[in-house]
Amino acid sequence: MVATTILILIYFFAYENSVQFAGGVGFGWAALSIFFYPLTGACFNFFFYLGTAVISGIWTDWWVYLVGNVVAAIVAMAIYYLYVLISGNKMNRKMA
């Protein structure tokens, strides 16, 4: 959940600042993958886990990957909006 929250925050800040959006997100994804994969073996995307579970037939704790991503998105959104409120920056673009 921590890695997913950080990744979503990278998307928010990169999109808001429009500074090398693709490069920043790509680097963030790679850095988080390299750091968190050895620690957890988990993935950022529920559907990556789902594909592995279908092939292997192991369905233990599948809900953690689904709920974790939703909770991570809510936490990242709250952190971002708190940052915007505290810093006084106005969002230049609408967040979808």
Quick: pLDDT tens for 16-53. Answer: 766 666 677 888 888 888 888 888 766 677 787 788 88
pLDDT attached to residue 68: 86
Domain boundaries, the chain: 2-87
Sort residue 43 into left (φ over 0), alpha (ψ -120 to 50) or beta: beta
Where residue 14 falls among pLDDT bands split at 50, 70, 90?
confident
CA angle 5, 10, 79 (to 5 degrees): 50
Place of tokens 């620690």: 39
Place of tokens 């559907």: 47
Write out the two tokens for 23. Answer: 């490069």
Instruction: Please give the model's pTM, rounded to 2 decimal places.
Output: 0.71
Q: Phi and psi (nearest 5°) for 43?
A: -125, 160
